A and B are shown apart, each in its own frame.
Chain A
Amino acid sequence: MTAETRIKFAQVAAGDSLPELVIDVTPTTVVLGALASRDWRPMHHDYKFATERNGVADIFLNTPNQAAWFERYVTDWAGPRARLGRMKFRMKTSVFPGHRMVFAAAVTDVSTDQTGCGWVSLQVELCVGAPEDDRSTYTVASTCEVRLALPDSQTDNPWLRSGDQWVP
C-alpha cells in the first residue's frame, strides 16, 4: 500500500476549514495555464488584444486553468485517494498578472450516498489583490462548489467506483 490516505471521510465535519494556498500570478502563470489547456484565444496571451479589444486590464487566467487550480487546491488537502465528483464555479472578476491569489475553503456538508460512497461538499473562495495590499482589501474573483469523494478507510478507494456505483 503506497498511496497515502491523507484524510478519511470520518475525520471531516461541516464547518471545517482548509489551509490557505497563496500564489502570485505572473504573465507566465497565465500563458502557461492557457497553453497547457490548449486554449489559444488571444486574451490569454496577447496584452494588446486583452486591453484594447476586450477592454480588460491585462491578459487573464482562462477557465480550464482556473478549474485546474481549484483541483490542485482541493487535492493538496485531500490527497490522492480523494476523487473529484463535481465542481461548479463562478468567475466574478478576472485574475490578472500582478494579482496574489488566495484560495480558502470550508466544508459545507458531509454525506453518504445510496452506494455507500462518502462525499464532502466544499465552498472554495479565490480572492485576489496586490501582494503589498492588506488582505482585507482583496476581492472575491471566483467561488467554487466542490463535491469530493473521500475514502472511509485505508483500503477504501473511490477511484474504483464506476457505473451505478459512481454518482457524482
Chain B
Amino acid sequence: MNETSLDDLSQEVSAMIGRSQYFQTATFDVENSYGYNTLAATQNNNPLFWQEEVAQELTLGHILPPTTLSLWMRPHFWEPGAAGEQVALQVHFDLKKIFDLPEAVMTDNTIIFYEPVRAGDRISNSQVLKSVSGPKTTKLGSGRFWVIDVEFTNQRNELVGIESYTGFGYRRGTEGAAS
C-alpha cells in the first residue's frame, strides 16, 4: 500500500493516525452458543470445543474458538435507544464518511491470539488508525486503502488478541482500470 504523507490528508484524518479511539466494553458476556454457531458454520469438529474432558485437560475448561475474537465486540443489530445501523469498526466507517467513499471491502486481516476467551468474559477493545494511502484505483473503483488495529482485552485487563484490518473504501463508476 502506498502511504501518503500527512500533508496530503485533511487535518481531521491526520489527527486520527496513531490515536487510540472508541474504547468500549461489550454490552454482553462471551457465550458458548456463538462459539457453537461458528463451529457449525465451518463444520469444525475440534474436540477441544465439543468435549468437556478435552477442554478440562487442555484449557482447564471450555474456551471459545480463537477466531471468534472480533465477534464479542460486534454490537447488536438493534437495541433500545440505539439509532441507525450499529457498526463494529467505527474508524472504518468514519473514514468512508470523511472521504465520501460509499463502498468498502476488507483486503487483509492479521490476528494475533493471546489469552483464550472463555464464556462469561466481558471483552473491551479500542481502535487505532495506522495509515491511509493516497488515492488508488482498482477494479472495484477509486478510493483509498487504510489500516486499522484493534486491541482486545478481557475484564481482568489481560490482552486476548490484536487484529489489524486493511480496508479499501471506494466509489464505483469510475473509468479507471484495475491497478
Residues of chain A whose beta carbon lies under 8 Å from any beta carbon of chain B:
1-4, 23, 29, 32-33, 35-40, 53-55, 63-72, 75-76, 80-81, 83-91, 94, 157, 159-160, 162, 166, 168
Q: Mark B53-87, 1 if CB is under 8 A from A, else 0.
A: 11001111001011110110010010000000110
Can you show 15 pairs from A to B with CB atoms below 8 A apart? A2-B51, A3-B47, A35-B37, A37-B38, A37-B41, A37-B70, A39-B71, A55-B103, A71-B44, A72-B44, A75-B46, A80-B58, A157-B58, A166-B114, A168-B114
A38 touches B44 (CB 8 A): no
B108 touches A89 (CB 8 A): yes
Which of A85, A86, A94, A159 touches B59 (beta carbons < 8 Å)?
Answer: A159
Q: Mark B108-142, 1 if CB is under 8 A from A, else 0.
A: 11111111100000000000000000000000110
Output the nearest chain A residue to B85 by Cβ-Cβ distance: A40
CA distance A89 to B165 in the complex (A): 10
| B107 in the interface (beta carbon within 8 A) | yes
- From DSSP, what is the main secondary structure of chain A's interface residues? mixed
- What's the nearest-Cβ distance from chain A to residue B104, in Å? 9
A84 touches B113 (CB 8 A): yes
CA distance A67 to B68 in the complex (A): 9
Which residues from B are CB-within-8-Å of A86? 110-113
Output the nearest chain B residue to A60 by Cβ-Cβ distance: B105
Known contacts being A80-B58, A84-B66, is A36 close to B38, with CB within 8 Å? yes
Known contacts being A40-B77, A72-B43, A162-B115, is A3 close to B58, with CB within 8 Å? yes
- From DSSP, what is the main secondary structure of chain B's interface residues? mixed
- What's the nearest-Cβ distance from chain B to residue A89, in Å? 6
CA distance A89 to B107 in the complex (A): 8
A39 touches B74 (CB 8 A): yes
CA distance A65 to B71 in the complex (A): 10
Known contacts being A68-B65, A70-B67, A80-B54, is A159 close to B110, with CB within 8 Å? no
Which residues from B are CB-within-8-Å of A68? 38, 41-42, 44, 65, 67-68
